[in-house]
């Protein structure tokens, strides 16, 4: 009798452990399927972002190549340069842009913009759907009048750089050649004064006060907006 009772108890205990094992195995399968689903979604999102990154790079290169192709013969004559990484077209010769401390465009700069800006807009025309903004950025050196503090010089130069970029935007907007682009210009061109916040440095790390006085046209594409949208959807 005792032997039968022990056998029954052993069978119940064995059945108990079998049921627990089955439960654990089932849970492991559930977790496995969840992990596979999460990994699949992660791979899908990764591939989407990768595609945007590739498209962004290709678009950046295409815009840079188009700008370089159009203006390569003019860069040395205008003392200008194009930065491949930021798509920034910079006029580096302050003496032909503005009089010292003034916001009015010099006649030489007006003539330069007459030639530059219509061609610039034509180059960007095929890429307009991928461009979020074109910034006209004004830069100054850190200098101001003798006796001005560092803070006073910074804010006075801020006002000067903002005034200059607004003057440039006003001038190019009113060009007769800009008529077909004026609606787009209203929504996509911005005048930004940066004062002395982004100086040009020499090889020794010192501020090059002459080269720091410059005006740039910088293309900002909308790839960051696309990436943000995909992340939000994820």
Q: Identify the band that residue 5 occupies on the pLDDT scale cut at 50, 70 and 90.
A: very low
Give domain limits for the chain.
51-230
Helix (H) or strand (E) holding 135: strand 131-139
**Residue 216: beta bridge partners?**
90, 137
Q: How many residues does the chain have?
A: 234
Banded pLDDT at 193 (limits 50, 70, 90): very high
pLDDT in tens, 136-172: 999 988 888 777 788 888 899 899 999 999 999 999 9
CATH number for the region 51-230 comes to 3.30.1330.60
In sequence order, what DSSP letters do the residues of 54-109 get, joined into one string?
HHHHHHHHHHHHHHHHHHTTTHHHHTEEEETTTTEEEE--GGGTB-TT--SBPHHH
pTM across the whole model: 0.72
Predicted pLDDT at 111: 95
Return d(Cα 57, Cα 16) in angstroms, integer. Answer: 61
């Amino acid at each position: 009798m005792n032997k039968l009772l022990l056998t029954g108890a052993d069978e119940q205990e064995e059945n108990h452990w079998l049921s627990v094992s089955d439960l654990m195995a089932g849970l492991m399968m559930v977790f496995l399927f969840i992990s596979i689903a999460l990994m699949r979604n992660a791979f899908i999102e990764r591939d989407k972002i990768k595609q945007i990154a590739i498209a962004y790079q290709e678009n950046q290169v295409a815009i840079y190549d188009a700008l370089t192709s159009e203006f390569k013969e003019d860069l040395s004559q205008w003392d200008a340069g194009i930065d491949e990484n930021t798509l920034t077209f910079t006029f580096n010769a302050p003496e032909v842009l503005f009089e010292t401390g003034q916001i009015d465009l010099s006649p030489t700069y007006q003539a330069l913009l007459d030639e530059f800006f219509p061609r610039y807009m034509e180059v960007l025309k095929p890429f307009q759907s991928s461009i979020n903004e074109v910034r006209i950025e004004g830069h100054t050196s850190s200098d101001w009048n003798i006796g001005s503090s560092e803070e006073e010089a910074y804010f006075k130069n801020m006002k000067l750089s903002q005034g200059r970029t607004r003057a440039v935007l006003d001038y190019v907007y009113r060009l007769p050649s800009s008529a077909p682009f004026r609606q787009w210009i209203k929504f996509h061109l911005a005048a930004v004064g940066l004062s002395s916040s982004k100086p040009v440095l020499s090889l020794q790390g010192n501020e090059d006060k002459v080269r720091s006085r410059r005006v740039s046209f910088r293309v900002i594409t909308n790839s960051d907006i696309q990436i943000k949208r995909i992340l939000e959807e994820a």
